[in-house]
Amino acid sequence: MRFERSCREVTRLVLESQDRELPLADKLALQIHWRICDGCARFKGQTELMREAMKRWRGYRDE
């Protein structure tokens, strides 16, 4: 089981995690990587913010 991931792999996994459940090994690898890489941790936060903003926008649009 490999827990070291590159930033490119982490970015891909973050985006995939929004569409499907990741295996436990991938979830652990992400947690480890985010503790050592501020850039990837910020990317995760930004994608969560954009996803929430789009959800709210759809709610306003549908009203």
pTM: 0.80
Residue ranges of the domains in the chain? 7-62
Report pLDDT digits (tens) over 4-62: 889 999 999 999 999 999 999 999 999 999 999 999 999 999 999 999 999 898 888 77
The whole-chain average pLDDT of the chain stands at 91
58: left (phi > 0), else alpha (psi -120 to 50), else beta?
alpha
Alpha carbon of residue 2 to chain centroid: 19
